[in-house]
Amino acid sequence: MLRSLNDLATLDFVLHISAGPVAPCRSTVLTFTHLLHSRYRSKSGLASYINDLVHVSVVTDYAKPIVDEVMAVYWVADDFTGVVVVPPGASLRLTVVKLGEEVVGKGKILGIVRGMNGKFDSIEQLTVGENFSPGMSKGFSIASIAIINCVGCELD
């Protein structure tokens, strides 16, 4: 399954894709065992990927027979700068936030999360955004992925 998912990187509209196991998670709510991290040229590129026959075949033939649960969070990283590909040896830290509907100031929360990039030297890349796929996100409305250079750093 992982090899087939990673092979989807050859599709034209995919900038980056990597799939692999998740390190132990602190959450008792999220019990996912694997993560697929991908980047696309545009929102329409993501739509093309989702509907692409090769992608659909991989999901149908390799993922669905063995995957119990899927959560997807999609956002536009309009403030992203840097290298698109994750550097070898780096780790990804996914953070998802579930805000109540009554929460005002979602933009302020996004700004605070984006500000983490300058606070830690080990963060090489940080993408943050508001989810635009509520049907697959299990209610999580904000997500971020920090790419962390683990060379010489200690992990807890």
**pLDDT tens readout for residues 96-144:** 888 877 777 778 888 888 888 778 778 888 888 888 887 788 888 888 8
Q: What is the pTM of this model?
A: 0.74
pLDDT in tens, 8-47: 999 988 888 888 888 777 777 777 888 888 888 888 988 9
pLDDT over threshold 70, residue 155: no
pLDDT at 78: 63
**Domain locations in the chain as residue ranges:** 1-70, 73-156
In the predicted model, is pLDDT for residue 154 greater than 60?
no
What is the residue type of 14? Answer: V
Secondary structure letter of residue 85 according to DSSP = S
Task: Choose among 140, 142, 138, 139: nearest CA to 130.
Answer: 142
Nearest one of 44, 31, 36 to 72, comparing CA atoms: 36
CATH 3.30.70 fits 73-156, yes or no: yes
Say what the pLDDT of residue 122 is: 81
* pLDDT at site 4: 95
Q: Are strands 14-21 and 34-40 parallel, antiparallel or unpaired?
A: antiparallel
